[in-house]
Every structure is written in structure tokens, then in C-alpha cells.
């Protein structure tokens, strides 16, 4: 009974953190992105360079969560599909938008793959960006990697 209770508590904590990562609340978006990049590098041995130095980003809780989840899915796709050895993550603020750029040096996604309706991961990333009031661009160049650009307005009130 004690083991079952411990397992249930572990599962509840995991599900809770998946709904809203505590790193976002505890650290803020930029440090949470850096932490995720470091964890990814440690877990996969794929070099992850992160240029995330923005402070006081004016995003809603929902926008921050969406951006963080898009990053997680993008890194999952790098691991599963890209055959990459390196990922670069950068954030910028341009003309009233928060911009997150994730690029790898893998095999590169094709136009057909980006347009495929059966890709739940890509569909989920697009939907998250849309729900946050933003856009998501995916481009690839064969043997030169894939780049994902997320743009979210910083002036939205949700």
C-alpha cells in the first residue's frame, strides 16, 4: 500500500508539472528555456547552445507556457528525427514580439513533412503558437538542418 501511494504521488506531481512547468513560475521564461536546453544536452549528448538573456518579457502565463511547450516539442523532434549533433536556441524581442528561434544541424525537414497533416507534433506546435496569438514558421534545408521560429506579440492581454 505504501509503494502504491508513493507511485500515485509521483504520478500526480509529474502530471501537475506537465500542465504548468514549475520552472516557469520559479525562474521565468528565459531561465526555464536555458534549464530545458541544459537538461536536453545532458540527457541526449546533443550540444545545445542557448542565447536567452531577455529580462522582463511581457508575456501572459498562457503565452509563456505555450512557448515552453513548443520548445519541448521541437527538442523532442530534434532527438527523434533530425540526426543532429547541435541545437541553437535564441530569443529576441523585435517590434513588439517575443521571438524564439530553434535551429539544428540535422538532416533538415522537407516541405512535404512540414505540410503533412498527420504530424501531431508539428500540428500541436502550430496550435500552441496560434492560441498564444502568435505564429510558427518551420523551414529546413537538406543536410543543413531545420529552423523553427515562434513569434508571439508581447502586448496581448489574454
The CATH number given to whatever domain includes residue 69 is 3.30.565.10
What pLDDT shows up at residue 17? 57
Q: CA-CA distances (angstroms) from residue 132 to 8, 46, 48, 69?
A: 32, 29, 25, 11
Q: Is residue 123 part of a domain?
A: yes
What pLDDT shows up at residue 19? 60
43 near 82, Cβ under 8 Å?
no
Q: How many domains does the chain have?
A: 1
What pLDDT shows up at residue 156? 46
What is the domain extent for residue 39?
28-153
Q: Is residue 8 part of a domain?
A: no
Q: CA-CA distances (angstroms) from residue 25 to 62, 83, 112, 122?
A: 12, 32, 37, 26
Q: Is residue 7 part of a domain?
A: no
What pLDDT shows up at residue 7? 83
Q: Is residue 46 part of a domain?
A: yes
Q: Any idea what the Cα angle at residue 129 is, between residues 62 and 96, rounded to 5°?
A: 80
Q: Is residue 15 part of a domain?
A: no
What pLDDT shows up at residue 16? 60
To the question of pTM greater than 0.95 for the whole model, the response is: no
Q: Is residue 9 part of a domain?
A: no
What pLDDT shows up at residue 137? 97
Residue from 130, 71, 80, 82 nearest 105 by CA: 82
Mean pLDDT per 10-residue segment, the chain (158 residues): 85 65 83 94 96 87 94 95 97 94 96 83 94 96 94 72
Amino acid at each position: 500500500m505504501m509503494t502504491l501511494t508513493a507511485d500515485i504521488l509521483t504520478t500526480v506531481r509529474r502530471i501537475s508539472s506537465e500542465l504548468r512547468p514549475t520552472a516557469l513560475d520559479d525562474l521565468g521564461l528565459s531561465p526555464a528555456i536555458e534549464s530545458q536546453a541544459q537538461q536536453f544536452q545532458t540527457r541526449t549528448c546533443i550540444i545545445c547552445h542557448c542565447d536567452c538573456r531577455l529580462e522582463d518579457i511581457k508575456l501572459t502565463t498562457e503565452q509563456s507556457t505555450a512557448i515552453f511547450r513548443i520548445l519541448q516539442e521541437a527538442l523532442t523532434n530534434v532527438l527523434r528525427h533530425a540526426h543532429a549533433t547541435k541545437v541553437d536556441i535564441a530569443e529576441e524581442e523585435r517590434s513588439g514580439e517575443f521571438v524564439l528561434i530553434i535551429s539544428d544541424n540535422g538532416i533538415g525537414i522537407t516541405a512535404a513533412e512540414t505540410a503533412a497533416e498527420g504530424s501531431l507534433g508539428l500540428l500541436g506546435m502550430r496550435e500552441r503558437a496560434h492560441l498564444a496569438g502568435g505564429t510558427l514558421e518551420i523551414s529546413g534545408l537538406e543536410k543543413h538542418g531545420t529552423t523553427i521560429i515562434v513569434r508571439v506579440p508581447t502586448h496581448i492581454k489574454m
